[in-house]
């Protein structure tokens, strides 16, 4: 269960103003926050419309169940899982929480159909499809199995198409996010999509580190939000202590997108903390491109070698704690990760910050009325 909201952290600008608000005002503000997120909460079935974005290797049974138990919505990352291990992971989450949670499936997974079947066997209520436009058949099968389908949209036209294909909700993720990213920032995507896509709930992701931002997106029309980076250092996260330390030390400016040296050899943009591997990736690209130029490698072989560089790198960092040669996928919101906290503390802090803004506004309105 989520702990009570104290509204003690509020706005850094003037926390005292928030603390001075009578508890009746705080209660009204919390009710207003709940009203703003009602659509997202109804879709997810939890107390808060805050999804814990699936993170490969990080979003496993412990973190997912902790997020759901604390009132958020945990999502299992299945990017690295076989159907058998996904089945075990879902069963484990179910043994740790009775609350709703979801499963994130990558549309390009070679065994996607089997993964969908596993979700159906376990009666998973929500499936998030990531990694490109899903097939109509996959979406139909998930819905026929009784689950809701959430899909990522990178532009308004794309989102509209997903609505026509039967998506139950959309996630829009801006380039501030950790992991694989698109070219457009969360703020711009939100303005592009939220005012125009009202048929189904839209969740906003990427760069969200504080409750004030959650409130802002809700007020722009979002049904809820999805956060990843902020949960990496949760006490319940199994990420290696060195991985967590790297997050705690980092600032927003350390989370940079991967660099592509040559347009003939595309590099999928991934946002991660800069480390020695970031430098080595540049040197490796240079070397491979030279071998291609000298005729030693075909274009296809060169492309494969470039792509191979990061194979297994996220696991090395998250699980083994190899922060030198592993991939430290992180969003710009990493600057808001300052210590290890329980999931319940993180969620309560985010809600406090959002409700704090509403309370501050209510206080200002009250001051104007009596002056
Ligand atoms: C370490 C890490 C791994 C991630 N892995 C996945 C993944 O497997 N599938 C996916 O859809 N998104 C993945 N993401 C993105 C998150 O689900 C989430 O949308 C994103 O972190 C939100 O932005 P934020 O990091 O600014 O909070 C990953 C993010 C991080 C930081």
Distant-in-sequence, close-in-space partners of 229: CB < 8 Å, separation ≥ 6: 177, 178, 209, 247, 255, 330, 331, 333, 334, 337
| CB count in 10 Å sphere of residue 3 | 13
What is this structure's pTM?
0.94
Q: Which residues pair with 180 in a beta bridge?
A: 270
What is the pLDDT at residue 182?
Answer: 95
Instruction: Residue 225: name the closest of 67, 53, 7 by CA.
Output: 53
What is the pLDDT at residue 23?
Answer: 86
Q: Give the tens place of pLDDT for each residue, 126-136.
A: 999 999 899 99
Identify the burial level of 314 via C-beta atoms within 10 angstroms of its C-beta, where 0-12 means exposed, 13-18 middle and 19 or more buried: buried
Contact 66, 39 (CB under 8 A): no
Q: Give the tens place of pLDDT for each residue, 341-370.
A: 999 999 999 999 999 999 999 887 666 665
Atom of ligand 1 nearest to the CA of 130: 11
- Structure-token pair, residue 180: 């694989």
Rounded mean pLDDT of the chain? 93
Check pocket membership of 327 for ligand 1, CB cut-off 6 A.
no
Q: How far apart are CA 263 and CA 19, in angstroms?
A: 54
- Structure-token pair, residue 222: 């979002």
DSSP-derived secondary structure for 5-34: P---S--TT-HHHHHTS-HHHHHHHHHHHH
pLDDT band at 80 (very low <50, low <70, confident <90, very high): confident
Q: Domains in the chain and their CATH numbers? A: 15-240+338-363 (3.20.20.70), 251-329 (no CATH)
Check pocket membership of 60 for ligand 1, CB cut-off 6 A.
no
Whether the predicted pLDDT of 110 surpasses 80? yes
Query: Given the structure tokens 């107390």, which residue do they identify?
Result: 47
Q: Give the tens place of pLDDT for each residue, 152-194.
A: 999 999 999 999 999 999 999 999 999 999 999 999 999 999 9
Atom of ligand 1 nearest to the CA of 173: 19
Q: What angle do CA 142, 146, 196 make, to 5 degrees?
A: 70
Instruction: Residue 279: name the closest of 262, 293, 263, 258 by CA.
Output: 258
| CB count in 10 Å sphere of residue 182 | 17
Whether the predicted pLDDT of 371 surpasses 70? no
Kindly give the distance from the C-alpha atom of residue 59 to the centroid of ligand 1, in angstroms, as a whole number. 9
Whether the predicted pLDDT of 15 surpasses 60? no
Check pocket membership of 205 for ligand 1, CB cut-off 6 A.
yes
Atom of ligand 1 nearest to the CA of 230: 27
Whether the predicted pLDDT of 3 surpasses 50? no
Q: How far apart are CA 267 and CA 246, in angstroms?
A: 24
Instruction: Residue 109: name the closest of 147, 144, 89, 138 by CA.
Output: 138
Query: Given the structure tokens 């009578």, which residue do they identify?
Result: 22
Q: How far apart are CA 175 and CA 73, in angstroms?
A: 22
Q: What is the mean pLDDT of residues 211-226?
A: 98
Helix, strand, or coil (residue 200): coil
């Amino acid at each position: 269960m989520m702990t009570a909201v104290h509204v003690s952290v509020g706005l850094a600008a003037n926390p005292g103003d928030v603390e001075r608000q009578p508890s009746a005002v705080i209660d009204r503000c919390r009710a207003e926050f709940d009203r703003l997120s009602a659509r997202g909460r109804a879709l997810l079935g939890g107390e808060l419309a805050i999804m814990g974005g699936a993170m490969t290797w990080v979003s496993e049974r412990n973190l997912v169940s902790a997020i759901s138990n604390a009132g958020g919505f945990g999502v299992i990352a299945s990017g690295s899982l076989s159907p058998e291990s996904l089945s075990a992971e879902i069963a484990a989450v179910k043994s740790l929480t009775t609350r709703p949670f979801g499963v994130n499936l990558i549309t390009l997974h070679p065994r996607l159909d089997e993964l969908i079947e596993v979700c159906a066997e376990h009666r998973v209520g929500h499936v998030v499809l990531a990694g490109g436009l899903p097939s109509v058949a996959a979406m139909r099968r998930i819905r026929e199995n009784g689950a809701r389908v959430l899909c990522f949209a990178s532009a308004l036209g794309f989102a509209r198409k997903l609505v026509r294909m039967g998506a139950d909700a959309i996630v829009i993720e801006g380039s501030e996010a950790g992991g694989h990213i698109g070219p457009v920032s969360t703020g711009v995507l939100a303005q592009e999509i939220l005012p125009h896509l009202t048929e189904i709930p839209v969740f906003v992701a990427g760069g969200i580190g504080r409750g004030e931002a959650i409130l802002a997106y809700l007020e722009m029309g979002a049904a809820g939000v999805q956060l990843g980076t902020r949960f990496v250092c949760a006490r319940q996260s199994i990420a290696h202590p060195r991985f967590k330390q790297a997050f705690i030390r980092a600032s927003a400016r350390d989370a940079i997108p991967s660099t592509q040296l040559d347009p003939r050899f595309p590099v999928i943009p991934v946002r991660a903390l800069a480390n020695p591997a970031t430098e080595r990736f540049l040197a490796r690209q240079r070397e491979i491109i030279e071998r291609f130029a000298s005729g030693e490698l075909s274009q296809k072989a060169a492309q494969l070698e470039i792509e191979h560089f990061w194979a297994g790198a996220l696991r090395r960092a998250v699980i083994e704690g190899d922060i030198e040669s592993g991939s430290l996928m992180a969003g710009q919101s990493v600057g808001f990760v300052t210590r290890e906290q329980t999931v319940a503390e993180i969620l309560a802090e985010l809600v406090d910050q959002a409700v704090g803004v509403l309370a501050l506004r209510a206080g200002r309105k009250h001051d104007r009325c009596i002056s």
